[in-house]
Structure 1
Amino acid sequence: MIIRLAVIHESEKVTKASKQLLLEIKNRNHSAYYIRISKLNAEITEKGIEFTYSGKKVDIDGGLIRNLGFISTTEQFIKRLDVLRELERSGVVLMNRPDSMLLARDKFASLMRMRRAGIPVPNTALVEDPFEVMRLVERWGEVVIKPVVGSLGLGSVKVSDPDIAFRVAKAILSVNQPVYVQKYVRKPDRDIRVIVIGDRVLGSIYRISKSGWKTNIAQGATAQVLIPDAELEEISLKSVRVLGLDYAGIDIIEDVENGGYKIIEVNAAPLWDGFEAATNINPAKYIAAHLIEKIRR
């Protein structure tokens, strides 16, 4: 049976990860489509709820949601989420599920969910008062201020001076954004990225910083294969289950002062260039296979 699958993204130019996913779908002799979320619509008609893409009826069995695009208004966000939720209710199997993806995208909400489940995470706060940010720096010493929704390490700053923290917070609050503050955890010049698909750890890598404290591959870090120990596998699998995800990239640090691991965030649509280069494993192959398996159940 030929299964009709879509990779859902917003980029006008198809990204490398999306290309790999489309290729893996085609390699399995299924139909592959690239759908921009801004052009995907739901219509209420006499027949019920119908879906269109650039004026044509959408008829797919499953979809891989990679990105909701740049969201400039609450209304735009609601429209895109409403369409995906209704698409799922209609019987289309989506990975990751829209609500789980939304939870993972919200760094603070996902950390609170994991903390309640007993998963180790750093001390974190989300505030709307620059004086509160000053108090957090005075209490925690060194902190990282980062976007509550973001990726690739962009926009994150490390601060130990309460006055500088106040100025950074004022700048963020001036554009009506809350301030996401995380206690800086002393770690080696590296972090860990674990890729989980389904109920298995596909692999893990160290992301080693060439200079500074940021360890994102997009910020110039290099990747090295890591054989995960039992604790690393356990917290990675548990975090994916707790957030209701089918696959994810988990960012983890080693706490050199207190020992053990701490999860920094869980990415529901991870990039994998560094992982693939270090491990010679293409996650797209396993992600496509997992979605097809879910549809066939």
Structure 2
Amino acid sequence: MRIGIVAWDEEDPDSPELASTGRDLGHDMAVFFLEDVSCRDAGGVLETTINGEPAAGFDLIISRAQIRYEHAQTDHERYALLSQVPGLTVLDPADVYLNAESKFLGLQRLGAAGLPVAPTRCCASAAEIGSALADWGEVVIKPTFGLGGTDVERVRHLDEDRALVDGLLAKYGRLVCQPYYPHPEGDMRVTIVGDEAPLIMNRVPHASSWKANAKQGATANMVTPPPELVEISRRAARVMGVTMAGLDFLPTPDGYRIIEFNNCPGWYPAPEDYRRHLTERVIEIFVSIHESKTRVNGHAHDLRRPVP
């Protein structure tokens, strides 16, 4: 089978590893970026291309795409072009993926489904953040689109942190605002693929930081979480309609709460054996979904193509 992987960026370590596993499993793999997606005239029809080649030459696209804040319209257009190629399975398609990219939309939908999300406000001014501080004592502010802990900041006092608050508001216009929950023993990241949870990490902040994020120096330990967190994570992925997700939980006085829903979870902090198990399951589950879809559409045939 010919499988394409839309990578996050040049520094994404997980997409090349996923491609390597796919090759070991006998597939023809290619890694590209949304910037490589375009279109051209093909006899009066706009044909979607990947690096100048017809996207229809692929069977399956696994998306780890980055929808960049400053290029959201263009990135979404490229993604949508890819998602509309007849016969090509894109997991997940543009509408599903883009909705899951938004922290606001994700938390809204999960909360409406009765899942335990952290209290969250949309703040478009320093006064609104000040009101949250008055109610919650300390808060965490962050953009609704983002990854890796970038521009995620802890605010204790509005006067002392005013320059930071004003800078982020000027950059993003509005911010996700949540209570700060102390978590010296880290958070819980549950990775869902299909209906499985093949990787679960406890991420412990570095001594010099409060952020439980590997890009910010946190240490990842493989753990067996409370069973209810796995079931909550499965339900969350179904609510969002995504095939692969990472659920971030923090312990609070009211039990574990979902802090974020991630539709492009990373696994590079995990030991090699765990990463290999995860990437094998990603390839196997995504291929199975494509094959099932193809059979339903009445085009069952030998999908495996010889690897060049």
Q: By how many angstroms is 1:122 displaced?
A: 1.1
Give the residue type in structure 2 aligned to 1:61. D
Partner of 1:153: 149
SS of residue paired to 2:246 = strand
Of 161, 179, 183, the match for 1:187: 183
SS of residue paired to 1:263 = strand
Structure-2 separation of matches of 1:194 and 1:281 = 16
Partner of 1:125: 121
For residues 180-228 of structure 1, what are the alpha-carbon distances to aligned partners after superposition, in whole Å with 9 as ceiling and x for unaligned?
A: 2111124343101111111111131211123232111111111222112
RMSD: 2.2
Partner of 2:13: 16
Summarize the alignment of residues 15-164 of structure 1 with structure 2, pairs less than 5 Å apart.
15-43=12-40, 45-46=42-43, 48-58=45-55, 59-68=57-66, 70-87=68-85, 90-164=86-160
Give the length in aligned residue pairs.
290
8 A Cα contact 1:64 1:94, kept in partner:
yes
Structure-1 separation of matches of 2:257 and 2:130 = 24
Q: By how many angstroms is 1:127 displaced?
A: 2.2
Structure-2 separation of matches of 1:280 and 1:62 = 21
Structure-1 separation of matches of 2:8 and 2:146 = 16
Give yes or no for the alignment of 1:273 onto 2:268.
yes
Structure-2 separation of matches of 1:269 and 1:201 = 15
Q: By how many angstroms is 1:22 displaced?
A: 1.2
Q: By how many angstroms is 1:242 displaced?
A: 0.8
For residues 221-280 of structure 1, what are the alpha-carbon distances to aligned partners after superposition, in whole Å with 9 as ceiling and x for unaligned?
A: 11222112221111111111111111112111111x22x211111211111022345846
Give the residue type in structure 1 aligned to 2:19. L
Partner of 2:174: 178
SS of residue paired to 2:116 = coil
Q: By how many angstroms is 1:46 displaced?
A: 4.0
Structure-1 separation of matches of 2:4 and 2:13 = 15
Structure-1 separation of matches of 2:37 and 2:121 = 36
8 A Cα contact 2:123 2:174, kept in partner:
yes
Going from structure 1 to structure 2, the CA distance change for 1:239 and 1:165 (only over 3 Å counts) comes to farther
Give the residue type in structure 2 aligned to 1:234. E
What TM-score do the two structures reach when normalised by structure 1?
0.89
- Uncovered stretches (5+) of structure 1, i.e. residues with no partner: none
Give the residue type in structure 1 aligned to 2:60. G
Going from structure 1 to structure 2, the CA distance change for 1:44 and 1:110 (only over 3 Å counts) comes to farther
Partner of 1:224: 221
- Uncovered stretches (5+) of structure 2, i.e. residues with no partner: 293-308
Going from structure 1 to structure 2, the CA distance change for 1:204 and 1:139 (only over 3 Å counts) comes to same
Structure-2 separation of matches of 1:252 and 1:220 = 18
8 A Cα contact 1:134 1:165, kept in partner:
no
Going from structure 1 to structure 2, the CA distance change for 1:79 and 1:236 (only over 3 Å counts) comes to same
SS of residue paired to 2:203 = strand
Give the residue type in structure 1 aligned to 2:258. I
